[in-house]
Amino acid sequence: MDEISLAVPRELAETLPEDSDETLMAMGREIDQYEGYINAAIAEGEESAASAAADVLDRLEERWEGYDGYIVELRAWGQSSIYAEVWCDFQYALIQQLYDHEALAEKLDQERHSRLVDDGIRLSDAL
C-alpha cells in the first residue's frame, strides 16, 4: 500500500480572511500528524493502516461535529463563523481525501464495519 498524502484544499484557503496564515499553519500541522500516524501504520501492514485510518476518521468526525456546533453557536451570538465553517469543511475534506486512496478505502470500510459490529448491539444481546 502506498503512503497517503493529505492537503488543505485550495478553496478553503481562499475562503479564509487574508490574515489567516496561522490557521493555515495549524491545518498543516494537523495534516502532518495524521499523515505520520497513518503512514507509520502503512509500513507495518494493511491491517495496521486500516486501523490507524479508522482512528483518524473517528477523530475527524468528532471534530467535524464539534465545529458544526460552533457555527450555530457563533451565529446565535451574532459573531462571524467563518473560521468554524472552514475548520468544519477542512475535517470533511480530510475524510474525503482518505477515502480517495483506493487501496486504503476498501480496508478502511472493512475496519469501520468491524468496529461497528464489535461496539454495536447484537440480536443475541437483546433476547
Q: How far is CA 75 from the centre of its chain?
A: 24
User: Using one digit for the tens of pLDDT, what is the confidence trace for 65-104?
Assistant: 999 999 989 989 998 899 999 999 999 999 999 999 888 8
Binned at pLDDT 50, 70 and 90, residue 127 comes out as low
Query: Please, what's the largest Cα pairwise distance for the chain?
Result: 59
Structural domain includes residue 25: no
**Is 127 within a domain?**
no
In a domain, 102, yes or no: yes
Ranges 55-59, 66-70, 117-121: which has the least confidence? 117-121
The pLDDT score that the predictor gives to residue 126 is 55
- Residue 33's contacts (CB-CB under 8 Å, 6 or more residues apart) are none
Helices and strands in the chain: count of H runs, count of E runs: 6, 0
User: Which three cell numbers, joined as nine digits, stand for 45?
Assistant: 501492514
Q: Is 8 inside a domain boundary? A: no
C-alpha dihedral sign at 10, 87, 33, 113: negative
Residues contacting 24, CB < 8 A, separation 6+: 8, 13, 16
Give me the count of residues in the chain. 127
Q: Does residue 35 form part of some domain? A: no
Which residues constitute the domain of residue 72?
45-122
The tally of domains found in the chain comes to: 1
The pLDDT value given to residue 1: 80
Query: Looking at the domain assignment, is residue 4 inside a domain?
Result: no
pLDDT value at residue 121: 60
Buried b (16+ CB within 10 A) or exposed e, 54-92: bbbbebbeebbeebeebbeebeeeeeebebbbbbbbbbb
